[in-house]
Amino acid sequence: MLIIKGFAQELEPKFGIKETHHFGAILPHRQIVNEVVEGHTYAAEISFYKQTTGKKDWQQTYDYPRVGISGLFMNLGNPKELGNALGVFSFVELSLNQRKINWRLKMGYGLGYITKPFDVATNYKNIVIGSPINALVYLNMGWDANLSNSFSASAGLSLIHFSNGSFARPNLGINIASLNLGLKYRFGETEEKIVSDIPDRDKAWKKKAMVGFGVKEIPPVKGPKYFVNSYSFNMIKQGKSKSSFGFGADLFYNSSLRDLIRTKEEAYEGTSLDNYRVGLVGIYSLDFGGISLLVEMGGYLLTQHKEQGYIYHRVATRYQVSDKIFLNLGLKTHFAVADFVEFGIGYNIVK
């Protein structure tokens, strides 16, 4: 069965460049974060994008999104303890309507650099970020209005997150909410949007196995690094066009758990089995061709370390290298508290 598209083709400039200015504040997601919140945050962002034309099925499904790369310079509002932040990230920008004022969602992630991370001797008051290099996650909900054939103006609301995924303590993370204004210039050859018949996606349940690896640090600050290993089995079913859903089972080996238990129970000896956890997860993903953005919510069936609770989460990106092999980059958390960054490789099990 095919999904037939019949709307008129349109002409779009091939490229665009946009300058955006942000005004906002660090969100104190914990009371202790208020210790480093002083002034407002300011940011300048420059973005370069390419307008997709529907050469791949997913581009037509998502109504011809823009894909590109952005650079970000941010004043964090506390020059003494936090300094400034730099970032570079790839993004996809989706159109959510087709009106004169175009409603758009921009999602991206990449790397961020914090100029003044925690240092036990020189910057001990920075209790939110313990490393200069961090992961950066970017979300923006905005509205575009054309000023001419080449120029458009935008306004929006952004959420920007910096975290090292507990690779180095402290790691409360920096969350910044901001209002923004931007000016966009479109250029290059105009290209027609391709309109074609899109085949239905395979609705069969797919079996996926994955092994993941990570490194983390636990209190006290500047302590040893601990190895983390995960084994996952997923059952995934594709939806009609954009998303997939499923469930799975996880086995975690976290070499820090036994020591974490000992910090609360001094007389506790335990065994190496205390470092294992078993859980079940529900899975939802947005699919962009060979790339999927996953959100997972899970619960532990077996864990000896109970201080973090029984609920865990994952956000991850999977890239399909071939029909059978995929790569995974994810962050495992307990609600707003990062557990570890997970690098993985997986295999699609076929009959």
Q: What is the pLDDT of residues 119-158, one digit of tens each?
A: 988 999 998 999 999 999 999 999 999 999 899 999 999 9
Tell me the CA end-to-end span of the chain in Å, nearest whole number: 23
Q: What count of other Cβ atoms lies within 10 Å of the Cβ of residue 65?
A: 21
Per-residue pLDDT reduced to its tens digit, 218-233: 888 878 899 999 999 9
Q: What is the largest CA-CA distance in the chain?
A: 73
Query: CA–CA separation, 42 vs 222, rounded Å?
Result: 31
Dump pLDDT digits (tens) for 63-116: 999 999 999 999 999 999 999 999 999 999 999 998 889 999 999 999 999 999
Q: What is the pLDDT of residue 199?
A: 87
Q: Taking residues 151-179, report their average pLDDT.
A: 94
Q: What is the pLDDT of residue 302?
A: 96
Q: How far apart are CA 169 and CA 226, in angstroms?
A: 12
Predicted local confidence at residue 222, as pLDDT: 79
* pTM confidence score: 0.90
More confident residue, 261 or 160: 160
Q: By C-alpha distance, which of 131, 342, 164 is closest to 253? A: 342
Domains in the chain, start-ordered, CATH in brackets? 2-192 (2.40.160.20), 202-349 (2.40.160.20)
Of the chain, the percentage scoring pLDDT greater than 90 comes to 77
Say what the pLDDT of residue 110 is.
97
d(CA 95, CA 307): 42
Size of the chain, expressed as the number of residues it contains: 351
Label residue 267 by pLDDT band (50, 70, 90).
Answer: low
Long-range contacts of the stretch 310-313 (C-beta < 8 A, 24+): 311/335, 312/279, 312/339
3-state secondary structure of 61: helix
Residue 298 pLDDT exceeds 80? yes
Poorest-pLDDT segment among 42-51, 173-182, 316-325, 330-339: 330-339
